[in-house]
Homo-oligomer: A and B are copies of this chain.
Amino acid sequence: MTSDPAAKYFSGKTTSRDRAVFEAGIAIGMIVHQFTGIPVKRPEDIELIGKVIENAVKAQPFREDAKIEIRIGDLSSSPGNPYSYTTLKTRHIDARIVVRYNNVRVVARLRYIPELDFNLAYIEDIEEL
């Protein structure tokens, strides 16, 4: 069993599956609302931001893994123009988060879905081990 001093605050109806899914949702909400807006100019900036997001996710409880890919197609390089930079937007982020609580593993994903024109957070897999 996962050691969890906070368990007693949760409704008695809460299952391990609920806990894992809930934490996965919190992780996605954090990614979107903490990191979008960062000014970005060079490809190296992007790589480092991805790593920082992964670390931030993994700092929180019960996260087993995080893989972040950032794709900014329009990262321009007009060296003469001081205003040629962009900022990180949700649609640039492809995040895959794995949360484990007791015997349940949830894989959650955040990515832009062209068909919906929406940055969708969804559950890619749930395993009861």
8 Å CB interface, A57-90 against B = 57-62, 80-83, 85, 87, 90
Q: Are A18 and B126 in contact (CB under 8 A)?
A: yes
Residues of B within 8 A of A28 (CB): 25-26, 29
Q: Are A60 and B85 in contact (CB under 8 A)?
A: yes
Overall SS of chain A's interface: mixed
- Contact flags (1/0) for A90-129 with B, using CB distance below 8 Å? 1000000000000000001000010010101111111000
Given contacts A11-B124, A61-B82, 15 further A-B contacts (CB under 8 A): A4-B82, A14-B123, A22-B25, A24-B25, A25-B25, A25-B27, A25-B29, A28-B29, A29-B29, A32-B37, A39-B60, A40-B59, A42-B55, A48-B51, A83-B116
Chain A positions near chain B (C-beta within 8 angstroms): 2-6, 9-11, 13-14, 17-19, 21-34, 36-42, 44-45, 48-49, 51-52, 55-62, 80-83, 85, 87, 90, 108, 113, 116, 118, 120-126
